[in-house]
Amino acid sequence: MARYAIGDVQGCMASLERLLALIDFAPARDHLWFVGDLVNRGPRSLDVLRWAMDHDAVITCVLGNHDLHLLARAAGAAGEKKRDTLDEVLAAPDCDRLIDWLRCRPLLHLDPKYVLVHAGLHPQWTAPDARARAAEIERELRGPTWRAFLTQIHGSPPRWDARLGGGDRWRAILAYLVRARTCKLDGRVVPDFDGPPAQAPAGAVPWFALPARAWTTHTVVFGHWAALGLDIGAHHVGLDTGCVWGRSLTAIRLDDRMVFQVKAVETPAP
């Protein structure tokens, strides 16, 4: 069995199909890891979700910020954003089934060697710490009050502190798991910056480059940062190569770190 990790798809079904053909994906033989953001801004989010749900037995997919936005819209906890392409999903006859499948995805997947997460980790979290923090969010999303929970995760997150509770705690956890790109040296996430590392605000570094990182017993596989592009280090693998922006969709075979890429098929998102 081969394991492949795949970068942010964001509704780019045609590009995903091309990448699956390139790696000769066979459900009887292979397993796929997705770094989150299956949906939004690309043209075929509904097709991507249906494909993913149909292949549930052979994929592991963590939630990204766009996936959470779809859940929030379905719950009535968020309105439409300017560049959303989610209306087809929300109007689909199987929408409820797709939403229930999506909200049961993990925020983080952990195995003996790898952490799969959409964006990043707090430098003080060990890999098991991060799994426990993700589990707090997962319990809420999978529970009967998930719609109310989604109304409490919007807004600026406070600085992470293990003593936080309620909405502040959830926002602080999600600031790392689904939004982090760069951080200050004290570990605080720099909000809103999405450019390349060389253009980061003064005093900010990529979250995976902070000193004294507690999670480096593992290699973190992540997406979310299109301006970073493919970035492979001793303890991190960044896989968002900007497919939805007209660049490429990337997979890495985890067993030998061989990289596979296809040029984006879709018209770039505006």
How would you write the pLDDT of the chain (270 residues) with one tens digit per residue?
899 999 999 999 999 999 999 999 999 999 999 999 999 999 999 999 999 999 999 999 999 999 999 999 999 999 999 999 999 999 999 999 999 999 999 999 999 999 999 999 999 999 999 999 999 999 999 999 999 999 999 889 999 999 999 999 999 999 999 999 999 999 999 988 999 999 999 999 999 999 999 999 999 999 999 999 999 999 999 999 999 999 999 999 999 999 999 999 999 988
Letter string b/e over residues 71-94, b meaning 16 or more CB atoms within 10 A of that residue's CB: bbbbbebbeeeeebbbeebbebee
* CB-CB contact of 41 with 83 (8 Å): yes
Domain count, the chain: 1
Q: Residue 158 corresponds to which amino acid? A: P
Token pair, residue 146, equals 């998930």
Tell me if 238 is assigned to some domain: yes
The verdict on residue 268 lying in a domain is: no
pLDDT of res. 144: 97
Q: Give the pLDDT score at 269.
A: 87
Domain containing 187 equals 2-263
Residue 95 within any structural domain of the chain? yes
Query: Residue 20 sits in a domain of what CATH number?
Result: 3.60.21.10
Helices assigned H by DSSP within 118-270: 127-142, 146-150, 166-177
Q: What is the pLDDT of residue 192?
A: 87
Establish if 270 belongs to a structural domain: no
Cβ–Cβ under 8 Å, residues 102 and 67? yes
